[in-house]
A and B are shown apart, each in its own frame.
Chain A
Amino acid sequence: MSSLAVAVPRAAPSTQRHAARALIRDRWALVAVTFLTVVILAAVLAPLLVPDTVNNPDFRARLKPPLTADHLLGTDQLGRDVFDRMLLGARVSLTVGFVAVFLSAVIGVPIGMLAGYFGGWLDLVLMRLADVQLSFPFILLALTINAIIGLGLQNIIITLVIVGWVEYARIARGEILVTREREFVQAATLVGCSHARILARHLFPNIVTPLIVIGTLQVARFIIAEASISFLGFGVQPPTPAWGSMVSEGLDYIFAAWWLITFPGLALALVALAVNATGDWLRDTLDPRLKR
C-alpha cells in the first residue's frame, strides 16, 4: 500500500475534506446532494411510508386533483394515490439507474482494462463492438432487446446493462492506455510485479475517479432512458410505478389530469438534474483534469 501512496499523486490525503469544503462553497451542488439524499432516503423507506394497498384500484377516488383530502398530489385513473406511487417509483427508478450503471461498470471496466492493458485481439474486438453498438441508436437497441426478453423491471435493467457496459469498457480502456505509460507503472513492471497486481493495485485506483464521475452522469441517462423506453411501449410491468412509465401512462390523460404527467415528470427531471449536478461536483473536486 505504501507504494501506492507515492504512486497516486491525485489521491491527496485531504481529498475528503477538500470535497466537503467544496460542497459547502458550491451551494448549487449542496442543494443537489441534499435533494438526492432525501430522494434516496425516501426510496429506501418507501415500503414503510406507503400502505400495502397503494396499487389497488379504488374507482370512487379516481382522478382527484392534487391537494384533495388524503391525496397531496392527487390520484390516477385507478384512484391510486400519486404521491405514494411516486415514493415507490423513486425506488424503482433509482434502482434502474444505479443498478444498471453498477452492473454495466462491473462488466465493462474489467474488460476495458484488460483490453487497454494487453491490447491485441481483445482490444480490437472491444473497439469494434463499441463501434457496432454506437452505430445503432441506443434506444432502438434497447427496444430490440426488450422485445426479446420481455417487459419488466429486471428486464429493463438487463437491457440497459447490455447496451451500457460497452461505454465503461471504452472509458476504462482509454484511461488505462494513458495511465499505462506513466512512470510508476513502468517502474512496477520493471520491479517484476505480476500483470494482475499491476492492474489491480496500480492501475485500477487511478481510473476509479473518472469512472465514478461518468457513472454518476450515466445514472441520469438511464433513468431517462427507462422513461423513453416505456414511452415507446416497453418498460416495467404495471402496476410497478417507475417514474418514466408513470409519465408515459399519464400521457393519455394529458388533457384530463395534468398532474399525472407533471409530478412524476418533474421528479424525473429534478433527480436527473441533481444527479448531473452531483456528478459535476464530484468531477470538479475529485478530478479537475476531467473537465468536460
Chain B
Amino acid sequence: MATKFPGLSRRSLLKGIGLGSAAAVASGSRPLGLAGIRPVGAQEQRLAKVAIALGTDPRTLMPNAIVDWITGVQIEHITDSALLYDPAEEYRIGPWLTTLSNVDELTWELKLVKPDIRFHNGRVLDASAFKAAIDWAKDPANESHYLERWEVMQEVTVVDPQTLRIKTAEPFPIMDQRLREVHPIDPQYLQEAGAQKMAEQPIGTGPFKFVEWKRGERLVVERNPDYWRNPVQVDRVEFRFIPEFSSRLSALLAEEIEIVKDVPVDSIETVNNSGVARIEAIPSSRINYVGLVNNREDSVLKDVRIRQAINYGVDVDAIIEGVFQGQATRMAGPLSQLNPDVNPEIKPYAYDPEKAQALLKEAGYEPGQLEIVMDAPQGRYPMDSDAAQAIAASLGAIGINVQVQYNEWGTHLDKIVNRRTGDMFYLGWGPSLEAYGTLAFLFVGDSTYSSYTNPDVEARIAEASKTIDPEARRQMWNEIQQMVYDDAGWLFLWQQHDIYGVSNKVDWKPRPDEFVWMGEAKPRTG
C-alpha cells in the first residue's frame, strides 16, 4: 500500500480513516476482524427470543435503497455493512466485512477481512457483491436514496475476489462515511429473485436469517448458525411495530417485548422498579440545537451580539437538569463531545444573564423590546416541546420575548428548508461521528437545513472538505468549530441520551451511533 502523504506515519493515517485490522485489534478489547472471532463455547447459552418494539415497519428490506433509521436497524440484522463505527476507536468508522485503505488520493481499496464469509443461501461473499450493491444503487431506475450519495464512486472495479477498488474524480476524504452505508448483495440472488422479491425476502451475510415479515405487525429473523463473526446467542429476533409510545412501554412491562427505545426520563424509575426490565442509557451522537437564523435578510439575529446574548442568556445546564433530569449531555460547540472531531478546547458559553442583557443593550434593545418567534417540533426529539418552552422562559427572563411556534414534523422541515421559520428554530442532527456531516451541512448558508452563513467559515469548510491529510483536516475543523462558536452560530444545546428499556433476561448495551444490534446480545445471568 502506497501512501502519498510524507511525514505521516502509516499508523496515524490508518487511524484517521479508521482501518487496518492490525491497528484496531492491537488497541481494542473488542473482537474485530479475523483475529477477534470468539471460539464457539461448549455450553453456549442462548436466548430463545428478543423482541424489539419499533414505531413502524421497515420501508423496505432491500439493502442500499433507503436511508432511514428504523429501516436500517432491521436490515442490518440480516446483512452486514462493509464498514462500521468502531467502539474501540472512539466510534470512528472501522472495519467490518472489509477494511479500507487509500491507494492514492483518488483511489480507495476494500479488502475482505476473511475469505469464506457466506450468504445465507450458502454462496461465498466476494468483492463482486459490493460492486453489485453499488451498481444497483447507482442505477437511477432503482430510485435508491444512495444514488446521489454514491455518485462520487466513479469507477468500481473488482481486482480479485477479495479486493474492490473505487476511484473518485476528486479527493473525497469522507469515503469511509459512504462505505459504511454499503451492504453487499449476492448478485446471483438479485438476478434470480429480482429487487422486488429481495425487498421482501432478503438474504445477506448477517447474524440473522429472514423468516417472515407481516406488514404492520412484525418482522421475524432467526439465528444464522454459521455467522462469520461470532456465535450468535439469540435464536429469534422479532421486530414488533407499535406506533404509540405508551403502548410500547406497556408491552415491555407486560414482558411481551424485550427492548424499547426512547423511554421518557420520568419513566426511568418505573422501568427500573418493574422487576422485569431495566434502563440502559447512553449519550447519543445525535445533537439538539437552536438555529439562530442569520442567512436571511429580515432576521434580527444577523447581529452577532444578539446571538451571543442568547447563548449567555439561556441556562442550558438548568434545563438539562430540570427538563431532562440530567439525561442529556451539554455540548460546547457545534459537535457532540462524542464526536472524534470535536475541538476539545471549546468550553460551553457560561450562563450570564447580565452579560446577555448588556449585549442586548449594545445591540440597541431594551428588555422586552425584542420579539422572536422560535419554531419547534413536538415529540420528535426527547422532551423537545418542554425544552423549547424552557428556553423561551429563560430568554424571557433576560428580556427577549420568545414565542414558540410548534409545528407538525413535516411542516417543520418544510419551513426550515423554505426559510419560513421564525428567527430561531429547534432541530436535531445525527448520529454524527465526524465533522463534515455536521459542519458542511449546517454552516453553509444555502444548504438544505442551514440557518447560518459566514463567508470565512464557508471558505474554510470548502477547503477542509477537500483535504485528505487527517492532521491538517483536523486543524481546519477545529478552527471552524471555534469560528462558529465565537460567532454564536447556534444556541448550542445538548446531545440526546438514548434511553432504552431492556428486559432483565437480555444482556445488551446501546451504542452512541444508534446501531441497535442483537448480533452480540446474550442471555443475562444473575
Contacts and interface: CB of A to CB of B under 8 A. Distances in A.
A252 B267 CA distance: 8
Interface string B410-438: 11000000000000000000000000000
A253 interface: yes
Contacts of B389: 55, 57, 78, 238-239
Given A147-B410, A251-B245, A59 B322 contact: yes
Contacts of A249: 385
Interface residues of B: mostly helix, strand, loop or mixed?
helix
A151 interface: yes
Interface in B378-395: 378-379, 385-386, 389-390, 393
A124 interface: no
A255 B270 contact: yes
Interface in B360-386: 378-379, 385-386
A253 B266 CA distance: 7
Contact of B386 (A78, A146, A233, A237): A78
Contacts of A238: 378, 385, 389, 404, 406
Interface centre among B323, B404, B406, B411 (most CB of A within 10 A): B406
A63 interface: yes
Contacts of A254: 246, 249
Interface in B237-280: 244-246, 249, 253, 264, 266-267, 269-270
B407 A150 contact: yes
Contact of B406 (A59, A147, A151): A151
A57 B267 contact: no
B201 interface: no
A94 interface: no
A226 B318 CA distance: 33
Nearest to A254: B246
Contacts of A147: 408, 410-411
B269 A78 contact: no
Chain A interface residue number, banded: 20 to 34
Contacts of A49: none
A255 B322 contact: no
Interface string A246-261: 0001011111110000
Interface residues of B, number: 29
A89 to B, nearest CB: 16
Interface in A69-117: 77-78
Interface string A218-252: 00000000000000011001110000000001011
Contacts of B405: 237
B42 to A, nearest CB: 42
A180 interface: no
A16 interface: no
B446 interface: no
A34 interface: no
Contacts of A253: 264, 266-267
A63 B322 CA distance: 11
Nearest to A236: B406
A56 interface: yes
Nearest to A147: B408
Contact of B408 (A56, A59, A234, A256): A234
Given A151-B407, A253-B266, A255-B270, A57 B249 contact: no
B160 interface: no
Given A77-B386, A78-B389, A239-B389, A252 B408 contact: no
Contacts of A146: 408
Contacts of B507: none
Contact of B264 (A62, A78, A233, A252): A252
A255 B406 contact: no
A62 B393 CA distance: 16
Contacts of B407: 150-151
A147 B415 CA distance: 13
B266 A77 contact: yes
A63 B385 CA distance: 16
B246 A252 contact: yes
A62 B408 CA distance: 26
Contact of A233 (B266, B318, B408): B408
Contacts of A59: 318, 321-323, 390
A56 B270 contact: no
Contacts of B390: 57, 59, 78
Contacts of B379: 233
Contacts of B266: 63, 77, 252-253, 256-257
A249 B384 CA distance: 12
A252 B390 CA distance: 18
A58 B187 CA distance: 60
A57 B393 contact: yes
Contacts of A252: 245-246, 264, 266-267
A104 to B, nearest CB: 24
Nearest to A78: B386
A156 to B, nearest CB: 13
B246 A251 contact: yes
B323 A78 contact: yes
25 contacts: A55-B389, A56-B393, A57-B386, A59-B321, A59-B323, A77-B323, A77-B386, A78-B323, A78-B386, A150-B408, A150-B411, A151-B406, A233-B408, A237-B405, A237-B406, A238-B378, A238-B404, A249-B385, A251-B244, A252-B245, A252-B246, A252-B266, A254-B246, A255-B246, A256-B264
In the A-B complex, list the 7 residue pairs whose CB atoms are closest, starting with the nearest: A59-B322, A256-B266, A255-B270, A252-B264, A254-B246, A251-B246, A255-B267
Interface of A: 55-57, 59, 62-63, 77-78, 146-147, 150-151, 233-234, 237-239, 249, 251-257
Given A57-B390, A59-B323, 11 more contacts: A55-B389, A57-B389, A77-B386, A78-B323, A147-B408, A151-B408, A233-B379, A238-B378, A238-B406, A255-B253, A256-B266
